[in-house]
């Protein structure tokens, strides 16, 4: 008996979309039909590596190919049109975060997708990291009591300033992962945010070099955040994250993305990222792979997405309120 496969295409085959393509190509429950990018050289390479069709125009691809789903990994300024077009065709969508640039654009996108009743999973990959999955389970089972404080740190290196700052920003691209996770862990609604930023090198991009922020919940609990992308490129761990939850009956501490592994050679000392999208034995692994594999499985079986549009929009609301707090130099009510 042949097993039904999810026929899928990827729109945007840059840094992350090319990994989406590889992951679907390796998933026995998926058939990578085509990839699309306006960068002709890059998309041809990705298609060749993964043995699938390629397009330079997503409208043409969506018209020509018989698909069940699409992964959208374009920059967030180019989301609305491909999303709506795919949703109107009844395709299930794996959508990269963030949902857009400005909050009113994000609200418009979410409203339109909800009206079409589109199936959309937003790619918040921490939910597929086994440490965060275990943490969610422990908290759900009330193992650490009532939550008192959360702390999230996400310090990137200068590649962030070079590669991402010109077209996205620190809060929308980076800290949003931790904000979304904390909002999901909290049983209480967020009440207000306050954020302060360091604005030096990113001034020309209308963005932030670093942000320190707090988020207060209605039950009295408080989250604090620190994020930046200014560390030297040769720091041992490419990303320096931490996530702590302190309850009145215990605590859960997640440190780093190297999962405790250090590699020392004559040339270098590194703590390789094993959590997010490491390549091991020539295949993409880690939380990105797990999250996309879960998307394929859930889409095939009509199960709800791990992170849906409603949850992603709430995270965006907090992100944009933090930006407003920085701009107005005062706390913002949610
Ligand atoms: N979930 C995660 O952990 C995660 C990780 C990295 C990036 N992202 C998100 O993914 C998105 C893309 O990031 P990236 O680092 O891959 O950026 P990137 O610049 O490397 O890739 C974006 C690609 O989209 C292509 N593109 C632009 N307009 C297009 C169009 N009209 N049609 C088809 N392709 C088009 C570009 O040519 C480029 O190849 C960003 O929103 C980013 O925040 C998410």
Please give the distance of CA 142 from its chain centroid, rounded to a whole number. Answer: 27
CA of 282 to the centre of ligand 1 (A): 22
Mean pLDDT along residues 61-78: 97
Kindly state if the Cβ of 84 falls inside 6 Å of ligand 1: no
Kindly state if the Cβ of 129 falls inside 6 Å of ligand 1: no
Task: Specify the DSSP element, H or E, that contains 253.
Answer: strand 250-255
Within the chain, strands assigned E span 6-11, 30-36, 53-55, 69-72, 92-95, 120-122, 147-157, 190-198, 210-217, 222-231, 239-247, 250-255, 263-264, 269-270, 279-280, 283-284, 332-333
* Per-residue pLDDT tens digits for 246-285: 999 999 999 999 999 999 999 999 999 999 999 999 999 9
CA of 75 to the centre of ligand 1 (A): 4
Do residues 261 and 255 touch, judged by C-beta distance below 8 A? no
State the Cα angle at 212 between 135 and 234, rounded to 5°. Answer: 80
Kindly state if the Cβ of 222 falls inside 6 Å of ligand 1: no
Q: What is the DSSP string of 166-220?
A: TTS-HIIIIIHHHHHHHHHH-SS-EEEEEEEEE-SGGGGGT--SEEEEEEEETTS
Residue with token string 């990827």: 10
Rounded to whole angstroms, how far apart are CA atoms 6 and 27?
Answer: 10
Kindly state if the Cβ of 12 falls inside 6 Å of ligand 1: yes
CATH no. of 6-118 = 3.40.50.720
Q: Residue 1 has what pLDDT? A: 55
Mean pLDDT along residues 33-43: 98
Do residues 292 and 21 touch, judged by C-beta distance below 8 A? no
Ligand 1 atom nearest to 42, measured from its CA: 39
CA of 220 to the centre of ligand 1 (A): 38
Domain segments of the chain as ranges:
6-118, 127-276+310-333
pLDDT range class, residue 2, cuts 50, 70, 90: low
* Per-residue pLDDT tens digits for 134-173: 999 999 999 999 999 999 999 999 999 999 999 999 999 9
Residue with token string 């290196």: 157
Q: Determine the residue of 10, 12, 176 to mutate for testing ligand 1's pocket, defined as the one with the most ligand atoms within 8 A of the Cβ atom.
A: 12
Kindly state if the Cβ of 17 falls inside 6 Å of ligand 1: yes
How many other C-beta atoms lie within 10 A of the C-beta of residue 328? 9
Helix (H, G, I), strand (E, B) or coil at 149: strand
Kindly state if the Cβ of 50 falls inside 6 Å of ligand 1: no
| pLDDT higher than threshold 70 for residue 179 | yes
pTM of the model: 0.97
Kindly state if the Cβ of 96 falls inside 6 Å of ligand 1: yes
38 by Cβ neighbours in 10 Å (0-12 / 13-18 / 19+) ranks as middle
Kindly state if the Cβ of 75 falls inside 6 Å of ligand 1: yes
* Per-residue pLDDT tens digits for 91-117: 999 999 999 999 999 999 999 999 999
Q: Determine the residue of 13, 47, 61, 73 to mutate for testing ligand 1's pocket, defined as the one with the most ligand atoms within 8 A of the Cβ atom.
A: 73
Q: Residue 291 has what pLDDT? A: 98
* Per-residue pLDDT tens digits for 309-334: 999 999 999 999 999 999 999 999 99
> Sign of torsion, CA 132 133 136 142?
negative
Superfamily (CATH H level) for 127-276+310-333: Dihydrodipicolinate Reductase; domain 2 (3.30.360.10)
Mean pLDDT along residues 1-13: 89
Q: Residue 187 has what pLDDT? A: 87
Q: Residue 3 has what pLDDT? A: 67
Ligand 1 atom nearest to 57, measured from its CA: 32
Mean pLDDT along residues 39-43: 97
């Amino acid at each position: 008996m042949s097993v039904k496969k999810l026929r899928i295409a990827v729109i945007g085959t840059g840094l992350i979309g090319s990994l989406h393509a590889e992951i679907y190509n390796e998933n026995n429950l998926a058939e990578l039909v085509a990839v699309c990018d306006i960068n002709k050289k890059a998309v041809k390479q990705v298609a060749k590596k993964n043995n699938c069709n390629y397009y330079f125009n997503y409208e043409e691809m969506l018209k020509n190919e018989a698909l069940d789903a699409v992964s959208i990994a374009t920059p967030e300024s180019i989301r609305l049109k491909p999303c709506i077009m795919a949703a109107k065709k009844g395709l299930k969508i794996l959508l990269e975060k963030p949902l857009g640039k400005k909050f009113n654009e994000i609200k418009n996108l979410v409203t339109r997708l909800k009206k079409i009743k589109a199936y959309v999973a937003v790619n918040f990959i921490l939910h597929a990291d086994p440490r965060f999955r275990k943490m969610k389970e422990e908290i759900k089972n009330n193992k650490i009591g009532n939550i008192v404080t959360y702390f999230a740190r996400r310090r990137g290196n200068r590649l962030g300033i070079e590669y991402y700052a010109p077209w996205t920003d620190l809060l929308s691209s980076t800290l949003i992962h931790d904000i979304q996770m904390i909002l999901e862990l909290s049983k209480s609604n967020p009440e207000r945010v306050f954020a302060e930023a360091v604005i030096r090198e990113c001034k020309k991009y209308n963005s932030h070099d670093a942000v320190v922020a707090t988020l207060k919940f209605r039950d009295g609990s408080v989250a604090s955040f620190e994020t930046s992308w200014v560390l030297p490129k040769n720091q041992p761990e490419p990303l320096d994250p931490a996530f702590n939850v302190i309850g009145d009956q215990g605590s859960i501490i997640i440190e780093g993305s190297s999962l405790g592994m250090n590699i020392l050679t004559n040339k270098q000392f590194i703590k390789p990222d094993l959590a997010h999208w490491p390549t091991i034995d020539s295949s993409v692994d880690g939380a990105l792979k797990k999250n996309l594999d879960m998307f394929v499985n859930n889409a095939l079986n009509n199960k709800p997405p791990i992170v849906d549009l409603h949850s992603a929009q709430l995270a965006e609301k907090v992100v944009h309120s933090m930006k407003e707090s920085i701009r107005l130099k005062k706390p913002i009510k949610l």
